[in-house]
C-alpha cells in the first residue's frame, strides 16, 4: 500500500510540474501577444499620421505613403524581434498548443504590416511575404503562419483603409485616393468571400468589411454628386476646399459643421461583386 | 489578390478540410470502440465480484483495438500539429483511458499510470508531436474513474459486496490527495475536480452505512488527513 501511495504522490508531482509549465508559458504568451497588439496599434496610428501629413509643393501623395510605410516597417521590426525571442516558446509542437494565445497579437501584427504594405505598394501583402517577415536570417520560420490568422489580419485591414479613405477625402488628391481604396476594399471583400466557408470567424469579419466598404462607397457617392454641380477640374476643386479650410481656421469656429461630408449621402447600393 | 495567390490559399485550406475529414473518420471509429467499452463496463454495476474478471476479459480486445486508431491518426496528422487537431478526438481519448483505468483498478486495485495508459493505447514516443496522451486528458479520465467508482460503491452494496466501498474509499482518497497537489486554473478540469468532493461524500456515506451495521470491517489504520 505504501508504495502505491508514493507512486501516486510522485506522479502527481510530475503532473503539477507539467501543468505549471503549461500555465506559465500560456501566461507569458498572452502577455507577449498583448504587447504585440499594442505595438501594432501604435504602428497603425503612426501610418495614418504620416500618410495623412500635409502634401506640399515638394512632397507628393505617393512619397508620403512611401515615407509612412518605411517608418511603419521600422516600427514593425520591434514586433519581429519579439517573435524572434518567443521562438523557443513556440518551437516544435508548441506553436499549435498555444496558437489561441498567439493568434490575437499575430492578427494585429498582420493588420499593421499589410497596411504598411498597402501604402508602399498599393496591393495586398501575400501569405508568403508575411511569413518571410517571421523568419530568422537563415530563412527558418519562427513558426508556421496559419492561413486563418493571415486572412483574419487582412480582414481587419479593410477597417483601417476605410478610416484612411474617409479622412483623406478632405485633402488634396484625397478623392482619387478614396476611389482607389474603395476599389481595393471591394476586391478584398470579394476575395475573402471565397474563403469564408473554411474559417468561421472570417464570415463575421466579412460583415464588418461590408460596413466599411459601404461607408467608403457613400463617401465616394457624395463626392460625385456634389462635384457634379461644379464643372471644374479636380485640382481646382481641391483648391477651393483647401481655401475654405484655411478661411475656417482664420475666422474662428462659429460656423462649425462637424464632418458634414461624412454623413451618409443617401441610398447606397450593396455592391457584391 | 491575384489568382495564383488565391489558388494557393484555397489549396492550403482545402488540404486542411480534407485532412479534417480523414481524421473525422478515424474519430468515428474511435467513438464506436469507446461506446462499446462503456456499454460493456456498465455491467460492472450488476456483476458479482467473481464474474468481474470474465467481464473485463471481454472488453480487452476492444481496448487493444484502439491502438489501430491512434496509429492511423498519428499517420494522418502533419508534423508538429498534434495540438491543432487533438480537440477532435480528446473526448474519445478520455473515454478510452477511463475504460483502461477502470479495468486496471478492478483487476489489480491499482492506479493506471500515465505511461501505462499511453502504452495501452499504443502511443509511440516518436509520434509525440502528432499523437500522444497529454496529462490533462489523462487527469480527466481519472476524474471520470472516480465518478464511476462512487456509483460502483453504491451498487456493489446492493449486490451484497460490502468490502468494495471500503476499498474504493481508500483508493479514491489517495487519488483526491494527488489532485489536491495540482495548481489547477479555472478550466473544466478544475470544475470537475471540484465536483469530486460529492463523489467522495457519497462513497463515505456508503462506508458509514456499511460499517455502522457491521456489514464489513473497516480497517482502523485509515490514514488521517
Residues A247 and A197 in one domain: yes
Q: Is the pLDDT of residue A262 over 70?
A: no
Q: Which residue, among B80, B129, B170, would best test binding to A if mutated, counting the most A CBs under 10 Å from its CB?
A: B80
Residues B39 and B103 in one domain: yes
Poorest-pLDDT segment among A7-21, A25-39, A47-61: A47-61
Looking at residue A54, the DSSP 8-state letter turns out to be: -
Cβ(A271)–Cβ(A217) under 8 Å? yes
Q: Is the pLDDT of residue A27 over 90?
A: yes
Residues B7 and B87 in one domain: yes
pLDDT in tens, A212-222: 999 888 888 88
**B160 assigned to some structural domain:** yes
Establish if A56 touches chain B: CB-CB under 8 angstroms: no
Confidence (pLDDT) at B92 = 96
Q: Examine the fold and report which residue of B133, B155, B181 is the final residue of a domain before the chain moves on.
A: B133
Q: Given pLDDT bands bounded at 50, 70 and 90, which one contains residue A266?
A: very low
With beta carbons under 8 A apart, name residues in chain B contacting A99: 83-84
Poorest-pLDDT segment among A52-61, A124-133, A157-166: A52-61
Task: Work out the mean pLDDT of chain A and round it to a whole number.
Answer: 84
Total domains in chain A come to: 2
Whole-model pTM: value is: 0.84
Residues A196 and A218 in one domain: yes
Cell 467508482, located at residue: B149
- Residue B174 sits in which domain range? 134-216
pLDDT in tens, A45-100: 999 999 887 666 567 778 888 999 999 999 999 999 999 999 999 999 999 999 99
- Percent of chain A at pLDDT above 70? 84
Question: In whole angstroms, what separates CA A264 from the centre of its chain?
Answer: 24
Residues B158 and B194 in one domain: yes
Pick A198's closest partner by Cβ from B13, B136, B179. B13
- Percent of chain B at pLDDT above 90? 88
Residues B124 and B154 in one domain: no
With beta carbons under 8 A apart, name residues in chain A contacting B16: 147, 198
| Closest by CA position to A165, among listed A199, A144, A188, A148 | A188
Q: ipTM for the complex?
A: 0.87
pLDDT in tens, B146-196: 999 999 999 999 999 999 999 999 999 999 999 999 999 888 999 999 999
**A265 assigned to some structural domain:** no
Average pLDDT over residues A96-119: 96
Establish if A127 touches chain B: CB-CB under 8 angstroms: yes
Number of residues assigned to chain B = 225
Q: For A17, which residue in chain B has the nearest alpha carbon?
A: B182
- Residue A106 sits in which domain range? 30-51+60-145
Confidence (pLDDT) at A57 = 59
Residue A197, domain CATH: 1.20.58
CA dist A125 → A118, A249, B9, B117 (Å): 7, 39, 13, 47
Which residues lie across from A135 on neighbouring strands?
A: A141
Between residues B40 and A230, which one has the greater pLDDT? B40
> Which long-range contacts does B13-20 make (Cβ < 8 Å, 24+ apart)?
B13/A147, B13/A195, B13/A198, B13/A199, B16/A147, B16/A198, B17/A198, B19/B76, B19/B77, B19/B78, B19/B85, B20/B85, B20/B88
Q: How far is A97 from chain B (nearest CA, A)?
A: 5
Confidence (pLDDT) at A5 = 57
Confidence (pLDDT) at A273 = 37
Rounded CA separation B96/B90 (Å): 10
Tell me how many residue pairs between chain A and chain B have CB atoms under 8 A apart.
84
Q: Examine the fold and report which residue of B116, B133, B150 is the final residue of a domain before the chain moves on.
A: B133
Confidence (pLDDT) at A245 = 63
Confidence (pLDDT) at A272 = 40
Q: Examine the fold and report which residue of B133, B166, B201 is the final residue of a domain before the chain moves on.
A: B133
Rounded CA separation A130/A149 (Å): 11
Residues A138 and A157 in one domain: no
Residues A174 and A136 in one domain: no
Q: Examine the fold and report which residue of A105, A120, A145 is the final residue of a domain before the chain moves on.
A: A145
Amino acid at each position: 500500500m505504501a508504495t502505491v501511495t508514493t507512486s501516486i504522490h510522485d506522479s502527481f508531482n510530475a503532473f503539477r510540474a507539467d501543468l505549471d509549465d503549461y500555465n506559465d508559458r500560456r501566461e507569458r504568451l498572452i502577455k507577449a501577444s498583448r504587447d504585440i497588439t499594442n505595438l501594432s496599434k501604435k504602428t497603425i496610428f503612426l501610418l495614418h499620421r504620416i500618410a495623412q501629413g500635409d502634401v506640399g509643393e515638394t512632397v507628393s501623395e505617393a512619397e508620403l505613403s512611401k515615407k509612412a510605410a518605411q517608418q511603419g516597417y521600422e516600427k514593425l521590426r520591434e514586433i519581429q524581434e519579439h517573435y524572434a525571442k518567443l521562438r523557443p516558446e513556440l518551437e516544435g509542437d508548441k506553436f499549435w498548443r498555444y496558437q489561441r494565445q498567439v493568434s490575437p497579437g499575430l492578427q494585429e501584427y498582420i493588420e499593421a504590416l499589410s497596411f504598411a504594405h498597402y501604402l508602399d505598394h498599393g496591393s495586398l501583402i501575400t501569405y508568403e511575404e508575411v511569413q518571410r517577415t517571421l523568419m530568422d536570417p537563415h530563412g527558418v520560420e519562427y513558426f508556421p503562419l496559419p492561413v486563418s490568422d493571415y486572412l483574419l489580419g487582412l480582414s481587419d485591414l479593410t477597417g483601417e483603409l476605410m478610416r484612411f479613405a474617409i479622412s483623406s477625402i478632405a485633402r488634396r488628391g484625397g478623392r482619387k485616393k478614396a476611389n482607389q481604396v474603395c476599389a481595393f476594399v471591394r476586391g478584398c471583400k470579394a476575395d475573402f468571400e471565397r474563403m469564408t466557408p473554411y474559417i468561421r470567424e472570417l464570415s463575421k469579419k466579412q460583415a464588418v468589411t461590408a460596413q466599411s466598404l459601404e461607408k467608403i462607397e457613400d463617401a465616394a457617392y457624395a463626392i460625385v454628386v456634389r462635384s457634379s454641380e461644379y464643372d471644374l477640374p479636380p485640382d481646382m476643386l481641391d483648391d477651393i476646399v483647401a481655401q475654405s479650410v484655411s478661411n475656417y481656421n482664420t475666422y474662428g469656429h462659429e460656423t462649425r459643421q462637424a464632418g458634414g461630408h461624412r454623413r451618409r449621402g443617401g441610398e447606397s447600393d450593396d455592391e457584391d461583386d | 489578390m491575384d489568382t495564383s495567390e488565391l489558388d494557393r490559399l484555397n489549396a492550403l485550406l482545402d488540404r486542411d478540410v480534407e485532412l479534417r475529414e480523414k481524421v473525422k473518420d478515424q474519430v468515428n471509429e474511435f467513438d464506436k470502440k469507446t461506446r462499446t467499452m462503456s456499454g460493456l463496463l456498465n455491467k460492472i454495476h450488476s456483476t458479482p465480484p467473481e464474474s468481474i474478471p470474465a467481464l473485463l476479459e471481454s472488453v480487452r480486445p476492444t481496448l487493444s483495438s484502439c491502438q489501430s486508431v491512434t496509429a492511423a491518426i498519428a499517420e494522418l496528422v502533419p508534423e508538429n500539429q498534434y495540438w491543432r487537431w487533438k480537440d477532435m478526438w480528446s473526448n474519445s481519448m478520455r473515454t478510452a483511458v477511463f475504460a483502461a483505468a477502470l479495468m486496471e483498478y478492478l483487476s489489480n486495485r491499482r492506479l493506471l499510470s500515465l505511461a501505462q495508459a499511453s502504452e495501452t493505447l499504443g502511443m509511440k514516443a516518436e509520434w509525440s508531436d502528432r499523437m500522444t496522451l497529454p496529462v490533462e486528458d489523462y487527469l480527466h479520465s481519472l476524474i471520470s474513474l472516480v465518478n464511476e467508482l462512487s456509483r460502483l460503491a453504491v451498487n456493489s452494496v446492493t449486490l451484497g459486496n460490502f468490502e468494495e466501498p471500503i476499498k474504493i474509499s481508500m483508493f479514491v482518497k489517495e487519488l483526491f490527495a494527488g489532485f489536491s497537489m495540482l495548481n489547477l486554473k479555472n478550466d473544466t478540469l478544475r470544475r470537475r475536480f471540484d465536483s469530486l468532493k460529492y463523489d467522495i461524500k457519497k462513497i463515505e456515506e456508503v462506508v458509514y452505512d456499511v460499517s455502522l451495521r457491521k456489514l464489513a470491517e473497516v480497517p482502523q489504520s485509515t490514514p488521517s488527513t
